[in-house]
Amino acid sequence: MIPFAVGAMLLQLTTTPPPAPAVPFAVGETLEYSGYHSALPFGISVGSTTLSVVGIEPAQGVPSWHFKLTMQVGVPLYHGHSELASWTGVNDFVSRRFVHVVNENGKQIANDDFHIHPDSGYYRNRTDTLKSPTTALPLDDLAFIYFIRTQPLQDGGVYRYPRYFKKNSNPLVVTVIGHEVMKMPDGSRRNCWVINPVLDEPHGMFSKSANAKLWLTDDGVRVPVQIRSGLSFGSVTLKLRKINGR
């Protein structure tokens, strides 16, 4: 017979969740960007974007990072507003909810609230009864920006992540283009990775037509210094102008 004290210790060891993995961001980190449109001179700002770690909140009973992105773009013939929100597990970095709202020229392009159930292998949008297959370790578009900040990279590397929450759109392919020296908001310059993420998802942030690129500082923090993505009319480049909460 196992003594009570030893049995209690063994029970505690089996029920205590593993510690959260170390990540290069924390609650309160807020990155502010100015937007520049390809159809206008680069010095003219056409909008703003905020990328933030709002907090840690429960999603399906699991403590989760709450990430948020808001973007406003206004140029002749085009006005856009986007809001993305993600709830991704602190311990397993698995997405369990993803909100995706996009309005272009007064027209609602997307108004989604995906509830993702990795344990049951499906996701669904809002209260839809239709269930679609998800992956074992799903990630949404916004969570990927934070996920890639934790991954090792090599020049010329091509990485395939079969983790996008819409199973049939996998894999997300990341090509490391190389390095580029970028100016930081404080005037300093840092060497940055330049990566090209591509996903077979027509309306996603990393769709093939968007030809998105991310510039991440080549250090332990991997701050997204610049983000570029195509729109239905030209492309927008987001340049980091302010860092809060670091």
Residue-wise pLDDT tens digits, 206-218: 888 888 999 999 9
Q: Residue 202 has what pLDDT?
A: 77
CATH, residue 215:
2.50.20
Spatial separation of the C-alpha atoms in residues 226 and 36, rounded to whole Å: 11
Phi, psi of 209 (to 5 degrees): -70, -25
Instruction: Report how far apart the first and last C-alpha atoms of the chain are (Å, whole number).
Output: 52
**Where does the pLDDT of residue 4 fall: very low under 50, low under 70, confident under 90, or very high at 90 and above?**
very low
> Predicted confidence band at 15 (pLDDT cuts at 50, 70, 90)?
very low
Instruction: Name the residue among 174, 171, 172 with its Cα closest to residue 193.
Output: 174
Domain of 237 in residue numbering reads as 20-244
Position 39 in a domain: yes
175 part of a folded domain: yes
Each residue's pLDDT tens digit, 105-131 = 778 888 999 999 999 999 999 888 899
Within a domain: 47: yes
Q: Is residue 7 part of a domain?
A: no
pLDDT at res. 13:
46
- Is residue 109 included in any domain, yes or no? yes
Distances (CA, A) of 70 to 51, 73, 244: 7, 10, 16
Q: Looking at residues 84-102, what average pLDDT do you find?
A: 96
Whether residue 229 contacts residue 236, with contact meaning beta carbons closer than 8 Å, is answered with yes
User: Among 85, 39, 20, 102, which Cα is nearest to 235's?
Assistant: 39
Residues 6 or more apart from 175 whose CB is under 8 A from it? 157, 158, 159, 195, 196, 198
Task: Tell me, yes or no, whether 6 lies in a domain.
Answer: no
Segment 40-61 mean pLDDT: 88
Residue 183: predicted pLDDT? 95
Span 127-155, pLDDT tens digits:
888 999 999 999 999 999 999 999 999 99
Q: How far is CA 94 from CA 17, 58, 141, 150, 237, in A?
A: 15, 13, 12, 14, 28
The structural domain count of the chain equals 1
What pLDDT shows up at residue 219? Answer: 93
Mean pLDDT of the chain: 88
Specify if 94 maps to a domain.
yes
Q: Residue 3: which pLDDT band, with cuts at 50, 70 and 90?
A: low
H/E stretch holding 6 reads helix 4-15
pLDDT given for residue 14 in this prediction: 47
pTM here is 0.86
Does 3 reside within a domain? no
